[in-house]
Structure 1
């Protein structure tokens, strides 16, 4: 569904992506791992066309992301942001229904609210939460609201950017389980960026290790622990010894 071939991206003299090749099949859950500053978020933004890559090609079902009609293209994506990114001045249901209240996906307000409440239920939140504001919610509840917003418009592709950041281990497990269930239910294609290996094991069908601007290893999550690639092994074990140098 998503194909990257020889993707490069630099910011001045800093080369971030140095020839990324990656295929993500329809309905597959791909998790991208790698250290901070290895280009994971830049890669995601390039796929969305928010950043123009310097060379190489990125296609969604054969259509170049840079030439696709923007509204129709972006309508196919949902996004769970790392920090939640909820609008403080909007009620919870308005956050969830944000895309349904404007643009090409616009629905009547009553219908948008009904969809929002249904999606809140799907992530384990009761209807009374709908009229609260983000500041009245715990971190875990805010993450659930963000997940409800990501799926509100029934997207074909969902991106998860560090979905468990800032959560305690129990709530992180709940969010991981919700993500996996929802992706399977919707038949959506998922791409997750994370440092959390428990998330990798819970969410992934396949894993790609990004380091120094290229994919060092890619394969099924079931083969990850037995892989001999030294970069992958060092990352998943958290060892200080290996080819990845710690930034001091």
Structure 2
């Protein structure tokens, strides 16, 4: 079966700083891949390369076995949804307008009434009541904002969803709630998911497969069941949060 996403020997540098140094990664259709690794190891740049926000210096990125052509850019991006690390909600828009942002624009856009109804449906799916729809982001708690971001990520029924540090800034209970929601929604939709996180509880709750980036390369990849017995000293140090090991801490 052709992988949903495949990166082959992807390199990216910014000036003299080499961020990606030959990334090879395969994400199967309908699977949840979690990318772990320390700050500055290239996790966010990898996602930006997949989305075409950043152009790799070399290597190839395939979606369903094909590269994304510039002429098909809108259709290409319509296949993706994303939950941003900080929520990235528009302060000046109501909750339902945030959720329906993409649905109100571009080819095939919905009417305001249709978009609002769909937004309320998605808000219900993430555990928020219809009254939330007319509030503004500043009126919401951090956990509610994260749920709104999740509702927006799934509003257009994307095939591929990215989650960027989905539990950052949340308490352990709310983090658990968000992790469960993400897992349920990905399974229900049959979507392919890629998550970036430092939170090992998220890794264990969300992942089918795990990849660890270090020094711009995939150091290890495998199923979540094999993570604790990876045999890789970098992975072992990272998942157990040990100060001592091959990964040098920044002081």
Task: Give the corresponding residue for 2:110.
Answer: 107
Residues 174-225 of structure 1 deviation map (CA, whole Å, 9 limit, x = unaligned): 0000000000000000000000000000000000000000000000001101
Q: Does 1:125 align with 2:125?
A: no
Counterparts in 2 of 1:66 and 1:217: CA distance versus 1, 3 Å: farther
Task: Give the corresponding residue for 1:216.
Answer: 219
C-alpha distance in 2 between matches for 1:240 and 1:182? 35
C-alpha distance in 2 between matches for 1:105 and 1:16? 38
Task: Give the corresponding residue for 2:162.
Answer: 159
Q: Does 1:189 align with 2:203?
A: no
C-alpha distance in 2 between matches for 1:63 and 1:177? 32
Q: Does 1:241 align with 2:239?
A: no
Task: Give the corresponding residue for 2:183.
Answer: 180
C-alpha distance in 1 between matches for 2:175 and 2:118? 25
TM-score (norm 1): 0.99
Q: Within 5 Å, which residues of 2 pair with 1:221-236?
A: 221-236=224-239
Question: How far is the alpha carbon of 1:108 from its aligned partner?
Answer: 1.1
Question: How far is the alpha carbon of 1:65 from its aligned partner?
Answer: 3.1
8 Å CA contact retained: 1:46, 1:53: yes
Question: SS where residue 86 of structure 1 aligns?
Answer: coil
Task: Give the corresponding residue for 1:204.
Answer: 207
Question: How far is the alpha carbon of 1:69 from its aligned partner?
Answer: 1.1
Question: SS where residue 240 of structure 1 aligns?
Answer: coil
Q: Which moved more, 1:162-171 or 1:102-111?
A: 102-111
Counterpart pick for 1:150 among 140, 150, 153:
153
Question: How far is the alpha carbon of 1:227 from its aligned partner?
Answer: 1.2
Q: Within 5 Å, which residues of 2 pair with 1:24-103?
A: 24-65=27-68, 67=70, 69-103=72-106
C-alpha distance in 1 between matches for 2:186 and 2:165? 16
Residues 91-136 of structure 1 deviation map (CA, whole Å, 9 limit, x = unaligned): 0000000000001241111111000000000000000000000000
Q: Which moved more, 1:235-244 or 1:101-110?
A: 101-110
TM-score (norm 2): 0.98
C-alpha distance in 2 between matches for 1:105 and 1:231? 47
The Cα RMSD (Å) is 0.8
Question: SS where residue 225 of structure 1 aligns?
Answer: helix
8 Å CA contact retained: 1:32, 1:193: yes
C-alpha distance in 2 between matches for 1:55 and 1:83? 30
User: How many positions carry a matched residue from both structures?
Assistant: 248
C-alpha distance in 1 between matches for 2:6 and 2:71? 15
